[in-house]
Structure 1
Amino acid sequence: MANAITRMITLFSGSFVGEDQFGNKYYHQKKAKAGSRRRRWVIYKESDEGSRVPPEHNAWLHYTINDFPTGGTAKSWQKPHEPNHTGTELAYRPPGHILEGGQRSKATGDYEAWQPE
């Protein structure tokens, strides 16, 4: 969640631009300083985690694109955006991982374990 200072800056100098499918809200400065561009920022709906920003909104935040993205820009071959799941129940765990039972499949014939003499 945004801290009190960010909320105050948003209240006094921020202008709401839009919201993404995860509920994150995007803002930019009402007025840019002379010779510079408007600052852009996001207030996350849940925890402050950068991977929760979809790629098209990340491009807007970093001035890669000028217009705020609207829905329907995904191609048919693109998967929906998912935040980084590291450290959560949804994280990938390869076969043999301790949290997946710790049992690996047997080694194939091309592998021979080293044995000290």
Structure 2
Amino acid sequence: MATLGTRLFTWLNGELVGRDEEGNSYFRQKGGGTVHRDSLRRERRWVIYADGPDEASRVPPEWHAWLHHWSNETPPAEGIARRTWMKDHQHNLSGTGQAYRPPGHTLLGGKRDRATGDYEAWSPE
């Protein structure tokens, strides 16, 4: 949830560029295209998250590229063309019950398979 200051700044200075499928809103500085091409300054871009936590992993890759000036093209409103190898965007699951836990993790019993004999521990001699 954006703070009052962020909402006020956005209302005064922001120009809505688009929204993603989750409802996050993307903005840029009004008149942002006026920065000279030889300038080191870039237009200011930001996101106001829809309901839920303000978590950077909630930004889909195509909007992430726009936010970080990797692309000047905003993603189309209908979304990008999906390819068969593309997976759906997934939020950061760290700290949740769905987070990845490798074999031998303490929350999975703390036991892992025995070494297969191809490992030899280093010891200083």
Residue 49 of structure 1 deviates from its aligned partner by: 1.4
- For residues 23-34 of structure 1, the aligned pairs below 5 Å read 23-32=23-32
With over 3 angstroms needed to count, the CA separation of the structure-2 counterparts of 1:63 and 1:110, relative to structure 1, is closer
> Structure 1, unaligned stretches of length 5 or more?
none
* Cα RMSD after superposing both structures: 2.3
With over 3 angstroms needed to count, the CA separation of the structure-2 counterparts of 1:111 and 1:13, relative to structure 1, is closer
> Structure 2, unaligned stretches of length 5 or more?
none
Residue 37 of structure 1 deviates from its aligned partner by: 4.4
Q: What is the rounded CA distance, in whole Å, between the counterparts of 2:112 and 2:57 in structure 1?
A: 31
Q: Quick check: 1:17–1:27 contact (8 Å CA) kept in 2?
A: yes
Identity over aligned pairs, percent: 53
Q: What is the rounded CA distance, in whole Å, between the counterparts of 1:98 and 1:34 in structure 2?
A: 53
Give the alignment's TM-score, normalised by structure 1: 0.81
What are the Cα deviations for residues 84-112 of structure 1, in whole angstroms up to 9, with x where unaligned? Answer: 21111111001121111223233334457
Alignment partner of 2:66 out of 41, 56, 60: 60
Structure 2 residue 48 is matched with structure 1 residue 40: no
With over 3 angstroms needed to count, the CA separation of the structure-2 counterparts of 1:103 and 1:12, relative to structure 1, is same
Q: What is the rounded CA distance, in whole Å, between the counterparts of 2:120 and 2:13 in structure 1?
A: 66
